[in-house]
């Protein structure tokens, strides 16, 4: 019997989990795409959804390969840092018009330092 025409299916390699850097790069890509869709008087704000509710993001950086360190601003203006596994992070990107109560804020990704003012 000629076995040359038989083929054995090749097993699929396991899908790799996304790392913290993959998530940061993905959010950066979404931000770049959304900048082209926004109106001139709008900016993009990122919100983090988790056990503490929806909080405004000011900074996202990798904390190892599987965790993120997320700087958030609470409603009272206080700043908190949350360290969470990538698999449990949820973000919402939203178009916002700046007002006196809600000025435009730049979100810092990775290890970049904020500009000195």
pLDDT digits (tens, 9 = 90+) for 14-35: 666 678 888 888 888 898 899 8
CA dist 101 and 99 (Å) reads: 5
Domain ranges of the chain: 20-102
Average pLDDT on 45-68 reads: 90
9 vs 67 pLDDT, higher one: 67
CA dist 117 and 97 (Å) reads: 22
Q: What is the DSSP string of 81-99?
A: EEEEEGGG-EEEEEEE---
pLDDT digits (tens, 9 = 90+) for 43-54: 899 999 988 788
Query: For residue 68, what are the β-bridge partners?
Result: 62, 84
DSSP code for 14: P
Residue 81 has pLDDT above 90, yes or no: yes
């Amino acid at each position: 019997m000629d076995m040359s025409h038989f083929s054995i299916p090749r097993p699929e390699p396991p899908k790799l989990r996304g790392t913290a850097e993959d998530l940061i790069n993905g959010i950066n890509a979404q931000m770049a795409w959304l900048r082209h869709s926004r109106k001139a008087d709008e900016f993009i704000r990122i919100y983090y959804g988790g056990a503490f509710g929806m909080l405004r993001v000011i900074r996202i950086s990798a904390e190892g390969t599987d965790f993120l360190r997320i700087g958030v601003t609470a409603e009272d203006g206080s700043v908190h840092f949350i360290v969470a596994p990538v698999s449990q992070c949820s973000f919402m990107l939203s178009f916002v018009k700046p007002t006196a109560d809600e000025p435009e804020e730049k979100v810092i990704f990775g290890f970049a330092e904020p500009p000195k003012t």
